[in-house]
Amino acid sequence: MMYENLLVEMRDKVAVVTINRPDKLNALNNKTMSEIKAFFASAADDDSICAVVFTGAGEKAFVAGADIGEINALSPTEAVRFARLGQETFTSIERLGKPCIAAVNGFALGGGCELAMSFHLRVASENAKFGQPEVKLGIIPGYGGTQRLPRLVGKGRALELLLSGGMIDAEEAYRIGLVNKVYPLGELVDNAVGLANKCLANGPLALSYAICAVNQGMESPIDEALANEAHLFGLTVATDDSKEGTSAFLEKRKAEFKGK
């Protein structure tokens, strides 16, 4: 599939996707959001894509935010639809049963921070900046920021960012658990791909079930979450990959997973 605002490069089994609007600091306009949604819908059914690394073009921004011009022209009803498109798109990333890594290479503000938070893992360059500055515009985040941020960093730290509209740097983002690793800018994407390949060395069905268990468990009481974990554990034990993985361990050899 061809995209106007996305570049897609395959590095073996890892799709490296780049938002290519550097003149707009990779801001999320409606066209770009629709293309992101289309890519992840396609990736869900594409067996050649086993993991995704997502970044922004240039050295200044991952995604500097949503397109403010588009927001300014919205009616309240249109604003709800606008928010729901972003929420649905980002949820499709979060629920993709393949490792998805945001490689944040600069500003990740507003919708850009919300986009990064929908990925399973986040790595950042040393020059990265994170924030939810929507209150400075008299609005609140609409793409999931008020929900994913406290789940990642806790209610107090989330509210500080949401209410102040301030920015934090990569080291502070790492300290509070918003990002997993920090790298020099020139090494960011390669390290993100390396992290993706480290995940892909494991059983693909196990990866998918682990993502599912975490996502569902975060929304459930602990007893329900544990019951679901046990159910998914049972499903993994029934797979050929489980037999291969446990046999390989006992035989002291490398497992050869088939995703079955």
Catalytic (active-site) positions: 114, 134
SS3 208: helix
CA atoms of 128 and 181, how far apart (whole Å): 12
Strand order across the 167-169 sheet: 61-63, 107-109, 129-131, 167-169
Record the tokens describing residue 87, joined without a space.
């929420």
Residue pair 86/144 in contact (Cβ under 8 Å)? The answer is: yes
Half-sphere exposure of 169 (CA within 13 A, CB side): 4
> What string of DSSP letters covers 60-92?
SEEE--B-HHHHHT--HHHHHHHHHHHHHHHHH
Residue pair 103/81 in contact (Cβ under 8 Å)? The answer is: no
CA dihedral (159, 160, 162, 167) positive or negative:
negative
Residue pair 33/6 in contact (Cβ under 8 Å)? The answer is: no
CA atoms of 174 and 178, how far apart (whole Å): 6
CA distance between the termini of the chain: 28
